[in-house]
Chains A and B, each alone.
Chain A
Amino acid sequence: MTDLGAMYIGAGLAAIGVGLAALGVGNVFGSFLEGALRNPGAADGQQGRLFIGFAASELLGLIAFVVAILILFVVK
């Protein structure tokens, strides 16, 4: 295997993390909707917490993306 090929494989492996973060983000919004449909009155007050959870789980996916980009463009 050449170095370039190994680099592309590594970047692809790093990109798996983005998909896993998608699971996390979906879980955050899914759980929020589940709770919100049971008690719609309380839903509006929890929107701040919804977006905090979203931001925290999204960040990890973005870091996986950064790792993929670093492998592709920075590592020589």
Chain B
Amino acid sequence: MAGEIDPMEQFKVEPVFGNMVVGGYDLSFTNSALFMFLVLGALWVFMIGGMKRELIPGRWQVAVESVVGFIDDMMRVNIGPEGKQFAPYMFSLFMFILLANLIGVLPFAIVPGLHTFAVTSHITVTAVLAVFSFGIVLAVGFWRHGLHFFSLFVPHGAPAWLMPIIIPVEFVSFMVRPFSLGLRLFVAMTAGHILLEVFGSFVVQGLNAGGALGPIVSLLSFVMIIGVSALELLVCAIQAYVFALLTSLYLNDAVHLH
């Protein structure tokens, strides 16, 4: 049966500074918006701090340079020389997702009344990011190749009698990309947060139950939380990387058409 602690409650979007309804639309400033601004602020501080252009770079500048170089490398390897023009978009995408994921697992809830909010654990946010990427792929493809872009659905060297099967399959696999892109990030973050919350509720309920077995369950759950948190940090980085990597592969398709 459901316990006292609802693992879904952490995903609730609620207004921070009271409700604001304009012309029938709810335009309240929510905790989701607040954490997006936090992500923006963190990214801003990170970049401003590292862009002093010193001749002998300090630690901070090296950190910024290595992230920029990492994205630059990814573009060059996956797209080629034309990839450089997408580096700013990809850098913003990667850093936004990475920082949103990392801020989402910060243990703010130690302070009573506060709790952190993972922006990327909502499909509305990740789907918009995926639609951005997909839209850029479409725009680049049609801009560079015009209607020739549709030859993306026709693989080279496939026999002609296979075409009635291959073209619909390729079309579906192309159209499903934004869904898989958004869904992957959303589910990976949601699942991790539910897992942490469930083990957290085990700790509380074990302590409340008392007896000889309760504290043991609590202790084991707490050790598990530490392990899962470490795994979550890895997942945060991998998901941001995978999102950027897949976007760059799709861009490569749009630029080079197979």
Q: Which residues of A contact B (CB under 8 A)?
A: 48, 51-52, 54-55, 58-59, 62-63, 65-66, 73
Stretch at the interface among B60-68, B103-111, B220-228, B238-246: B238-246
* Chain A interface helix/strand/loop/mixed: helix
Query: Once the chains bind, are A48 and B78 in contact (CB under 8 Å)?
Result: yes
Query: Once the chains bind, are B245 and A52 in contact (CB under 8 Å)?
Result: yes
Q: Which B residues are in CB contact (< 8 Å) with A63?
A: 183, 187
Query: Once the chains bind, are B188 and A62 in contact (CB under 8 Å)?
Result: yes
Q: When A51-B241, A51-B245 are in contact, do A66 and B78 touch as well, CB less than 8 Å?
A: no
Chain B contact-residue range equals 10 to 19
Query: Once the chains bind, are B191 and A55 in contact (CB under 8 Å)?
Result: no
Q: Which B residues are in CB contact (< 8 Å) with A65?
A: 187, 191
Give Cα A54–Cα B180 distance, bound, in whole angstroms.
14
Chain B nearest CB from A20 CB (Å) reads 15
Within 8 A of A (CB), among B155-214: 180, 183-184, 187-188, 191
Q: Which B residues are in CB contact (< 8 Å) with A73?
A: 8
Give Cα A61–Cα B67 distance, bound, in whole angstroms.
30
Query: Once the chains bind, are A55 and B242 in contact (CB under 8 Å)?
Result: yes
Cβ contacts A to B, 9 pairs, < 8 Å: A48-B74, A51-B238, A51-B241, A52-B249, A54-B238, A54-B242, A55-B184, A55-B242, A63-B183
Give Cα A59–Cα B241 distance, bound, in whole angstroms.
15
Q: Which 7 A-B pairs have the closest CB atoms?
A: A62-B187, A55-B242, A59-B184, A65-B191, A59-B180, A66-B187, A51-B242
Give Cα A54–Cα B235 distance, bound, in whole angstroms.
12
Q: Which A residues are in CB contact (< 8 Å) with B183?
A: 59, 62-63, 66
Among A55, A59, A65, A66, residue most surrounded by chain B Cβ atoms (within 10 Å): A55
Give Cα A59–Cα B180 distance, bound, in whole angstroms.
7
Q: When A55-B184, A59-B180, A59-B184 are in contact, do A48 and B191 touch as well, CB less than 8 Å?
A: no
Give Cα A48–Cα B75 distance, bound, in whole angstroms.
11
Quick one: closest A residue to B235, CB to CB?
A: A58
Chain B nearest CB from A35 CB (Å) reads 19
Give Cα A24–Cα B141 distance, bound, in whole angstroms.
33
Chain A nearest CB from B93 CB (Å) reads 15
Q: Is B77 engaged at the interface, CB distance under 8 Å to the other chain?
A: yes
Within 8 A of A (CB), among B19-49: none
- Since A51-B238, A59-B180, A63-B183 are in contact, a sample of 9 more A-B pairs with Cβ atoms closer than 8 Å, ordered by chain A residue number, is A48-B74, A51-B241, A51-B245, A55-B242, A58-B188, A62-B188, A65-B187, A65-B191, A66-B183
Q: Which A residues are in CB contact (< 8 Å) with B246?
A: 52, 55
Give Cα A55–Cα B183 distance, bound, in whole angstroms.
12
Chain A nearest CB from B176 CB (Å) reads 10
Query: Once the chains bind, are A48 and B184 in contact (CB under 8 Å)?
Result: no
Q: Which A residues are in CB contact (< 8 Å) with B249?
A: 52
Give Cα A51–Cα B8 distance, bound, in whole angstroms.
30
Among A52, A62, A63, A65, residue most surrounded by chain B Cβ atoms (within 10 Å): A62
Mask of B214-256 contacts with A, CB within 8 angstroms, 1/0: 0000000000000000000000001001100110010000000
